[in-house]
């Protein structure tokens, strides 16, 4: 009986430990929300959402450093900063371009 319980516990640990919690889905959700807000040109919510994206970047920076090379995660940070400036300037076209760049950089980082 003890061996069966230990086997179940070990399998549970293995299965739960294999989940890929690396931030990819969180970034994808934030970017999709930003794209929707850019389509609506809702500046107030855009500022909040891009700040959340920056906080997400800062929170997951160490993971990005492990997954990508130095140039990739630095370009990602620069791209997010450009999105912030474009939204502050209400240049929605530039914000869309930078958001696309951000998506591409994230795809490169998480392509492993």
CATH of the domain at 49: 1.20.120.290
Pair of tokens at residue 50: 């891009």
Range of the domain at 72: 21-109
Tens of pLDDT, residue by residue over 45-99, are 999 999 999 999 999 999 999 998 999 999 999 999 999 999 999 999 999 999 9
Domain contains 43: yes
In the chain, the number of structural domains is: 1
Alpha-helical segments (H) within 1-112: 2-17, 24-40, 43-67, 70-88, 92-109
Query: How many residues can be counted in the chain?
Result: 112
Q: What distance in Å separates the CA atoms of residue 109 and residue 28, rounded to the nearest whole number?
A: 13
Domain contains 13: no
Q: Average pLDDT over the chain, rounded to whole?
A: 88
Q: What distance in Å separates the CA atoms of residue 15 and residue 25, rounded to the nearest whole number?
A: 19
| pTM of the complete model beyond 0.85 | no
């Amino acid at each position: 009986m003890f061996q069966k319980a230990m086997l179940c516990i070990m399998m549970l640990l293995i299965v739960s430990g294999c989940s890929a919690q690396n931030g990819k889905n969180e970034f994808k959700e934030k970017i999709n929300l930003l794209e929707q807000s850019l389509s609506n040109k809702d500046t107030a919510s855009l500022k909040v959402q891009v700040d959340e994206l920056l906080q997400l970047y800062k929170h997951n920076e160490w993971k990005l450093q492990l997954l990508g090379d130095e140039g990739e995660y630095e370009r990602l940070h620069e791209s997010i900063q450009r999105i912030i400036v474009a939204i502050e300037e209400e240049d929605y076209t530039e914000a869309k371009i930078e958001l696309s760049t951000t998506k591409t950089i994230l795809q490169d980082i998480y392509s492993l």
